[in-house]
Chain A
């Protein structure tokens, strides 16, 4: 007689072998590997940001406009003075300003590091909520069909037609400028594609013979939908969500750039870029480095998504 623990171990070994095969597929593509390493690097930095950089560096409380004594810091070496904004350094920051300073006189590198958790966290929340909402609705609509399906589709169409920027403006004017408002606005325009994607997946998946076999076995609709159909249909959603992480970071920081930011001094990539935009000729490094960071993050997530698609493609698994 087998014990429960043995049952569990057997299951685990089977799944582990499967995962190993996926990792093998993943590793075959160097571009995807690069993307994965970069995104993992950013995620780790974001998680540890508060340990790497003192968050107090971000405060602008002491800034009163040039009354502090002049203290010049350098980029790379003592021969490259690179400071923008007030001719001061607000805090006892790092020894060198590797990427220069921003308009508040803060170390740009530290600010970018502090911005990573803000951007990644918001992107993550937005994508997860939008994907959950969209996939659930899409799965139900695809599985149930009929009037419910029609209704969901039409509602989705309405939201599709909404321009995200206008919606964000409306919300900002209604509820004031806050990160929550911004999240809400982006989620509102971001879930409809997931409905479409999941509905299509479920429509094709529910016609497969194994679903019929389960029904013949007497499995209920909820079991069939949530335990089998959705699990088999979820993989394109994962791919889409991974790719969307990059997209949402761009949208989020773009809206911040446009002035939806609750505070000008918040270390956030869009905010920093907006700051640099004002001095694009005198201090080009600010917008350059914050913009580059955005580019690299979204590119990295797109590459990961691409790799996931290859790995999860069922055609490769037979």
Chain B
């Protein structure tokens, strides 16, 4: 069953739990009386990557970069237009009912908005019990309650929280409930879709710590989607940068933060506000807005905002090329490491 994963072109030495190959999610734009398709929103437009066991892959991008659609396509919440998503060798878009049942237990997602991702009319106890019931992991009501309590304690909540409605909890607590629900069955892979972007910093810290602890205790693999580069730096082993539906750079965390190769990554890094007023930051401003994913620029999709754009960039779309585990999709090989380092030394 797994042999065909190994035999693919970009030979994967150990079997990675998640392998995504040339995934495309296009949403048709329909118009007129007969609902003719007049174009596509290319939310995800040919994305390939793999996630290694027990690692955290950070996915960074601005709104409209397609990072959330990517997560939804992996979970088959939207139908991919093309490409494959293999989890433990099973192609998720084509999996049958039985395979999907096990996949849904193993692959789980935590959503961004803890205020909306829980059914407002369900108590914690009943929502956890329902999840267990769907996965068929418990037999009796009391067993479910016992297991719910164990889960709640694991995520830092308590018995007293069992019979409350979501609106009685703070954002951080709700996110903990969502984590507990994701873990009712034997989850192995968690997609964290901006899990802390609605939370305050002090709460964010505790949720991030919880996620780190759980990863260690339960051998979880994470895909951490966020627009917050500091958080992704804190959480991830490797980081993928997305721009307009494509991965433009993917590398080890330290490499990508110290030695970014793609101009977009570099400018994104420069735009992060630093919690240090004395940092002498270079004013590198990325001009303009993200183009709409309906009219993606020809050639390299970043070229209209790129200062280093050459003639070739306007015509040919660069491929994601690997060099020592550092994937970059850029024609010009620019070394930003010097500039990143001067930025660092200035901070002392």
A and B from one complex:
yes
Chain A residues within CB distance 8 Å of chain B: 1-4, 7, 10-11, 13-15, 18, 208-210, 212-219, 223, 227-228, 231-232, 314, 317-318
Which residues of chain B are within 8 angstroms of A227 by Cβ–Cβ distance?
A: 130
- B332 at the A/B interface (Cβ < 8 Å)? no
Do B121 and A232 have beta carbons less than 8 Å apart? yes
Task: Point out residues on B near A: beta carbons under 8 Å.
Answer: 72, 75, 77, 100-101, 104-105, 108-109, 111-113, 115-123, 125-126, 130-131, 134-135, 140-142, 145-146, 149, 162-165, 167, 178, 181
Smallest distance from the beta carbon of A105 to chain B beta carbons, Å? 55
Asked whether, in the complex, the Cβ of B163 is within 8 Å of the Cβ of A210, the reply is no
With a cutoff of 8 Å between Cβ atoms, the chain B residues found around residue A7 in the complex are: 125, 141-142, 145
Given A7-B125, A11-B123, A219-B134, A210-B118 contact (CB < 8 Å)? yes
Residue pair B121, A231 in contact (C-beta under 8 Å): yes
Q: Min CB distance, A216 to chain B, in Å?
A: 5
Closest chain A CB from B135 CB (angstroms): 7
Residues of A within 8 A of B141 (CB): 4, 7
Smallest CB-CB A-B distances: 7 pairs: A218-B104, A10-B163, A14-B163, A209-B116, A209-B117, A213-B117, A216-B109
How far is A150 from B241 in the complex, measured between Cα atoms in Å? 42
Q: Which residue of B lies closest to A9 (CB)?
A: B163
The A interface, classified by DSSP as helix, strand, loop or mixed, is: helix
Asked if A216 and B75 make an inter-chain contact with CB atoms under 8 angstroms apart, the answer reads: yes
* Contact (Cβ within 8 A) A10 B125: yes
A314 contacts B145, C-beta separation under 8 Å: no
In the complex, which residues of chain A have a beta carbon less than 8 angstroms from the beta carbon of B140?
A: 4
Can you name the residue of chain B whose Cβ is closest to the Cβ of A228? B119
Closest A residue to B141 by beta carbon equals A4
A2 with B146, Cβ < 8 A, contacts A14-B164, A219-B134, A231-B121 known: yes
**Known contacts A209-B113, A213-B178, A218-B105; is A232 also within 8 Å of B119 by CB?**
yes
8 A–B pairs (Cβ distance < 8 Å), ordered by A: A4-B140, A13-B163, A210-B116, A214-B119, A217-B104, A217-B181, A228-B122, A232-B120
Pair B109/A213 contact, Cβ less than 8 Å: yes
5 more CB-based (< 8 A) A-B contacts, given A7-B125, A216-B77:
A11-B126, A13-B163, A217-B181, A218-B104, A227-B130
User: Chain A residues near B109 (CB, 8 Å)?
Assistant: 213, 216
Q: Complex formed: what's the CA distance from A153 to B42 in Å?
A: 31
Closest to B162 in A: A10
Q: Which residues of B contact A18 (CB under 8 A)?
A: 165
Query: For residue B114, which residue of chain A has the nearest CB?
Result: A209
Is the CB–CB distance between A210 and B119 below 8 Å?
A: yes
Is there an interface contact between A216 and B108, defined as CB atoms closer than 8 Å? yes
Give the distance to chain A from B222, nearest Cβ to Cβ, in Å.
15
A112 to B109, CA, bound (A): 61
* CB <8 Å contact, B123 and A4: no
Chain B residues in 8 Å Cβ range of A208:
116
